[in-house]
Amino acid sequence: MSAIRLFSFTSLLSIFLLSCRENEIIEVGQPTSMDIPQKVFYAGTVMKGERIKASFKVINTGAYPLVFGEVKPSCSCTVVGKPTKPVQPGDFTIIKAEINTDELHTKNIHKAITLMTNTEPNITILEIKGRIK
């Protein structure tokens, strides 16, 4: 019985090892770095009910793909798009956000977007600021 188990284990191990590519490197999740030239979007003065459309350029300045784990707005009045694919080294993506000012109850606008990525530090805050007339 133990000879059959040893044979089965050896066979499975051989199949597993032969199916791996020796020169293939898994890069997803490796720490990388990014640059965001403008982390604060100034909307200026807008009318109540106007929608603010902000965009932030995110550049992968590291050696590995930039992966977004979570892109979370600070409130429900802000809708933000999350990149669905990793950003390759040297490439960039645009984070787009939209604020519905109809849902705001203050004159000053200060909303945040939290990015969770495979960078160090892994949390980056983007801001949208403005004023309602």
pLDDT tens readout for residues 36-60 = 999 999 999 999 999 999 999 999 9
The residues pairing with 73 across neighbouring beta strands, listed in sequence order, are 113
Query: Can you give the pTM of this predicted structure?
Result: 0.76
The full set of domains in the chain, from first to last, is 34-132 (2.60.40.10)
Each residue's pLDDT tens digit, 119-133: 999 999 999 999 999
Q: What is the pLDDT of residue 29?
A: 60
Query: What DSSP assignment string belongs to 84-129?
Result: -SPBPTT-EEEEEEEEEGGG--SSEEEEEEEEEESBSSSEEEEEEE
| pLDDT exceeds 90 at position 78 | yes
